[in-house]
Amino acid sequence: DARVKSIVYVDMDNPLNVLNERGFGELILNESKFTYIHRSSLKTSAYELLEMIEGKGVAGSYEGVLFVLDSLRNFADIDNDTKMMSLMSLLMNLRECGATIMVLHHSTKDGRAFKGSNHIRNSSDCMYFLQKVANLEQGFEVLLSVQKERAGIKDQAFFINTKTLNIKNTDLQNAKISDKEEAFIDKVLKLLNEKSLSTSEILSALDVSRSDNFSRNTLEKFKGVFWESELGGENGRTFVWKSLKADNKDSNDKELSLFGDEL
């Protein structure tokens, strides 16, 4: 993006041995726009580093600069309202100097809420919940679900190539498939891979009621994605479902697996 003149990544979380195993140096450190700061190189605390950066800022001085902070708990006590308010005020000052700040933060174990002070949410312009939804051959797919917005942002889904770190938009509907829908899709595709079936035959094979709204709605929801329907049967007046032959592929025609482990 031409709007981004430079990226400053302050990494207070990842150990060096893990970064080396991932080939981090080869992929990132040679990028001219990229400045990487690891906790092992600091002679001060992460908070004091931000104070120094803020102290040098004036209106517009950080225009086009993206700061990435990994992760929030390493910059201040996330459960202490006073310390968290102080940190968020500092970040808002950087924003007024033109900077864009992206902060990584951990959720609770059940993934339903963020950890720490309410000042985190109250002082943020936008918040996303990040979830890995698919393991693919060359990387993985992530879903960003909006948790708070002031700028009309929307949910987004991306494919991240772990070999090149290239990122591209991917199908949002597929990324939002629930566990229940995933299980249903797998079962139906196994049936349709053998032969085309009517709605009644599918419901019977799945041992669910003919009036089951979830099954009928899910068949309709993913029509054109995983399967298609057309008039057929003995009388030619029954809708028959068939699996779409086109495999899901990425830009390099590598086969994709739609579902994977959670992040």
Nearest to 9 by CA among 46, 40, 37, 45: 37
Per-residue pLDDT reduced to its tens digit, 179-200: 899 899 999 999 999 999 999 9
DSSP assignments along 154-178, one per residue: --EEEEEETTT--EEE--HHHHT--
* Strand ordering across the sheet containing 156-161: 127-135, 139-148, 156-161, 167-169
Confidence at 231, pLDDT banded by 50, 70, 90: confident
| Residue 233: predicted pLDDT | 65
Q: Based on the fold, state whether residues 94 and 184 are members of the same structural domain.
A: no
Which of 12-21, 27-36, 218-227 is predicted least confidently? 27-36
> pLDDT, tens digit, for every residue of 155-182?
999 999 988 888 999 888 888 888 899 8
Torsions phi, psi for 176 (to 5 deg): -90, 10
CATH number at residue 231: 1.10.10
Nearest-angstrom CA–CA distance, 15 and 38: 9
Q: Which of 8-22, 56-70, 244-258 has the lowest mean pLDDT?
A: 244-258
Per-residue pLDDT tens digits for 68-116: 999 999 999 999 999 999 999 999 999 999 999 999 998 876 666 778 9
- Asked if residue 247 has pLDDT above 70, the reply is no
Contact between 35 and 5 under an 8 Å Cβ cutoff? The reply is no
Q: CA 38 to CA 58: how far, in whole Å? A: 25
| CATH code, 51 | 3.40.50.300
In a domain, 208, yes or no: yes
Residue type at 224 in one-letter notation: G
* Domain assignment present for 224: yes
Question: Which residues are bridge partners to 34 per DSSP?
Answer: 7
Same domain, yes or no: 118 and 185: no
Q: Would you say residue 148 lies in a domain?
A: no
Top-confidence residue, 87 or 239: 87
Same domain, yes or no: 120 and 186:
no
The range of the structural domain enclosing residue 206 comes to 179-243
Domain count, the chain: 2
Does 133 fall in a domain?
A: no
- Please report whether residue 263 resides in a domain: no
- Of 124, 158, 193, which closes a domain? 124
